[in-house]
Structure 1
């Protein structure tokens, strides 16, 4: 166990059972559990910025790897303990320091839960846009680390569109400030944008200044069922071209609908190949918008369209989508993935995933944020079945390649983490990996910050595409 200054030593977790809860995140079981499960690591639960500074001073002086960690909702192994590392958890830095309606900003700690920031903004008549599916548990620091998006990206964008400034502790303990609290500010390079999405590889975020906007109206929903994927994709394109784009545009394929129907009765007909859920929150025009969306989906070939007349009906229409993750988890172990493709090729990706499910004998429900082409295939297999786990990871590799072949990316909003390192290199190329690694070295010259994610240790990423080894 690392020995820290007395001020930090009391933050070290000594109970082995508690310590184990900080070793893993929400990502899939490792491809090779014998190699990828850490047994020798230290967990520090920071209580303030001084704790973070002290840990990073110690880590730099001793060459100890640091894994920054929040609520551990990463789906890609981005916040897992590695052998010999310090897991630095910052959930307790959860103060909402400022909600400023005049400037349109919030100032929060990295441990603030996404839903808590939304609620605090709403109390002031304001709105914070990013809304990951894990909004009730994920933290703003983790959202910054992965540039998280969510259900409403079509209208409101991703975390990078809302972050104005950061406080970051660098290896060695220096506190760096990026960005501006003012409405405008172009002094120097956009280092805030560099840190958003860096997955803890450059430093540890300790304060976030976010943008806030006036609150929209409560959203209303339309739900449409389709007899073919092509008709559903035509509807997605029509909705994207509408001059008042939806605030939410979600798709569920047949395998996703089967999973939900197996979990409970949410009114989805069995013959559906796809379902679209569409929302408007445009002030003064929600009912008008969802009625028009319904007409567009009918013209595209929808079999049936249900349009909510009030907030209660809207919530009922969304229930089936909300339970999808729970319904899929009830089927077995899963690799919950995140691929973004051009919107016009959504149908090709979903069909390719269904074919992979047949060939590898696994289940692959596909759902996601159809409005921006961001799909979430879940590769499901029986718990404890080593052969099925191997087939699932082979299907994972195929789904990554499929996304790239369609002109997409292997990470829409979950990040690269540790499980997509090779696919990161396959997408951007070895020279780009080295350029990005060189940028990392400016802030982390010893390479101690979350070294197993994104780039991997030097020499482990460049080369042929394929699964992480």
Structure 2
């Protein structure tokens, strides 16, 4: 749509000094980290500094029928924050204040634009920590993690982001503000609207602040363990044995050989290069060395050719480099499927067959403890190359579904996976979700044609 000059003046008058109109200034806010291509410039970007700013922006968009995309740090991988041509981008980047850390109740009140690691660092000053720990922890925002219900490296021990969210402040499509949840551990008053908005990817409302749960920092020093395998199936079986054992890891990650090699080329970290797969993880608490020793023993029994543990966290930090390293090496088209942990070995074997059939390299890293895989396919910088890589991703996704899995574990649907929704959701389930969307956003301005 084409907005009139009067309509745009109305927006700038309502939010003085917080609206961008120049294409060059808007450009950084119009895209995210996904492979999606921008279809056209937005009409405006609102640099919101408060819930009131977001409310004013959405009320304006509602009146004028303007499509809205919501952006935190732009670290999303599924095109959920891409601007709409002629649309409005609501940026929460400036809403980056940690409002309060309630030590007694182990809660933190934060604005949506707070960087995840900044919250974790602030909580550590009080002997607490914020459990959600995506690989992008140093650049992603708390609000973005809530919007996609991100998981991360510590998910095997602490669950996904929804497990850490107690309450939300949300601006609805017409500008009204609501509050969900509360500060108590138990709260069954009315519908669980907090869970409804977590993972909704900006389609039902804009989350502007949250009350999140913190946990006590485990005593002692963490211990990092590793195990190398000549057979990825054996690594998968080791994961099954670990998660069903009395030795609970806080982190349990799996990297195939190609991923390790690419990370080491991108930045030398000292990761040992396996013949097939590398398991890395951490244990915490006073018993961390004993638990790590037990996990190493399980890995050796499952066929690990080399295994050990140490006090260094270098291998965990190296794991966080996977996505930028893979992108730098031309493996740009990725997916985020999940399977039951018992099917890890099966899906890795299936991906080998898919790679051979398509003649494309596939590199995979996994949050092995919860069965969430991030596989990336090589692709040149042409539309045909991307289409070919997308066909590989589709086959991996269908394989995951055939094993009782899901098309996304934590990155969300956005626009890149929108065509896959019918593969997982039956017609009646999809209709129920769309009915919720229509009830909260009747004019369809919030992140349309994405997520649901």
TM-score (structure 1 length as normaliser)? 0.91
Aligned equivalent of 1:397, options 394, 397, 406: 394
Q: Post-superposition shift, 1:267?
A: 4.7
| Conserved 8 A contact 2:23-2:41 | no
Shift of the 247–433 alpha-carbon distance from structure 1 to 2, 3 Å rule, reads same
Aligned equivalent of 2:383, options 382, 386, 400: 386
Moved more, 427-436 or 107-116: 427-436
Once residues 325 and 139 of structure 1 are traced to their aligned partners in structure 2, the CA distance between those partners, rounded to angstroms, is 17
| Conserved 8 A contact 1:11-1:44 | yes
Once residues 72 and 404 of structure 1 are traced to their aligned partners in structure 2, the CA distance between those partners, rounded to angstroms, is 28
Q: Post-superposition shift, 1:452?
A: 2.5
Aligned to 1:372: 370
| Conserved 8 A contact 2:331-2:376 | no
Aligned to 2:17: 10
Aligned to 1:259: 262
| Conserved 8 A contact 1:363-1:381 | no
| Conserved 8 A contact 1:153-1:372 | yes
Are 2:149 and 1:147 equivalent residues in the alignment? Answer: yes
Aligned to 2:60: 58
SS of aligned partner of 2:20: coil
Aligned to 1:33: none
Task: Tell me the alpha carbon deviations over residues 146-189 of structure 1, each in whole angstroms, 9 at most, x when there is no partner.
Answer: 00110010001011000000010112211101001122211111
Aligned to 1:27: 34
Matched residue pairs, number? 444
SS of aligned partner of 1:339: coil
Q: Post-superposition shift, 1:262?
A: 3.6
| Conserved 8 A contact 1:361-1:391 | no
Q: Post-superposition shift, 1:12?
A: 1.2
Task: Tell me the alpha carbon deviations over residues 79-125 of structure 1, each in whole angstroms, 9 at most, x when there is no partner.
Answer: 00012211100111111111011111000000000001101110011
Point out where structure 1 has 5 or more consecutive residues left out of the alignment.
Answer: 31-35, 456-469
Aligned to 1:235: 238
Task: Tell me the alpha carbon deviations over residues 403-433 of structure 1, each in whole angstroms, 9 at most, x when there is no partner.
Answer: 1111100010000111111211220122211
Structure-to-structure mapping, 1:97-246, within 5 angstroms: 97-217=99-219, 218-246=221-249
Q: Post-superposition shift, 1:315?
A: 1.9
| Conserved 8 A contact 2:237-2:345 | no
Are 2:285 and 1:288 equivalent residues in the alignment? Answer: no
Moved more, 394-403 or 327-336: 327-336
| Conserved 8 A contact 2:233-2:349 | no
Once residues 293 and 333 of structure 1 are traced to their aligned partners in structure 2, the CA distance between those partners, rounded to angstroms, is 32
Moved more, 356-365 or 271-280: 356-365
Q: Post-superposition shift, 1:64?
A: 1.2
Q: Post-superposition shift, 1:8?
A: 1.0
Are 2:451 and 1:448 equivalent residues in the alignment? Answer: no
Aligned to 1:348: 346
Once residues 22 and 87 of structure 1 are traced to their aligned partners in structure 2, the CA distance between those partners, rounded to angstroms, is 7
Q: Post-superposition shift, 1:126?
A: 0.6
Shift of the 56–263 alpha-carbon distance from structure 1 to 2, 3 Å rule, reads closer
Task: Tell me the alpha carbon deviations over residues 314-336 of structure 1, each in whole angstroms, 9 at most, x when there is no partner.
Answer: 22333542332232122125022
Are 2:311 and 1:327 equivalent residues in the alignment? Answer: no
Once residues 271 and 136 of structure 2 are traced to their aligned partners in structure 1, the CA distance between those partners, rounded to angstroms, is 24
Once residues 318 and 214 of structure 2 are traced to their aligned partners in structure 1, the CA distance between those partners, rounded to angstroms, is 30
Q: Post-superposition shift, 1:368?
A: 1.2
TM-score (structure 2 length as normaliser)? 0.94
Aligned to 1:418: 415
SS of aligned partner of 1:107: strand
| Conserved 8 A contact 2:134-2:152 | yes
Task: Tell me the alpha carbon deviations over residues 421-450 of structure 1, each in whole angstroms, 9 at most, x when there is no partner.
Answer: 121122012221111010112211111110
Task: Tell me the alpha carbon deviations over residues 278-301 of structure 1, each in whole angstroms, 9 at most, x when there is no partner.
Answer: 2111x2111111111111111111
What is the alpha-carbon root mean square deviation over aligned residues? 1.7
| Conserved 8 A contact 1:362-1:388 | no
Are 2:291 and 1:273 equivalent residues in the alignment? Answer: no
Shift of the 261–54 alpha-carbon distance from structure 1 to 2, 3 Å rule, reads closer
Structure-to-structure mapping, 1:16-95, within 5 angstroms: 16-30=23-37, 37-95=39-97
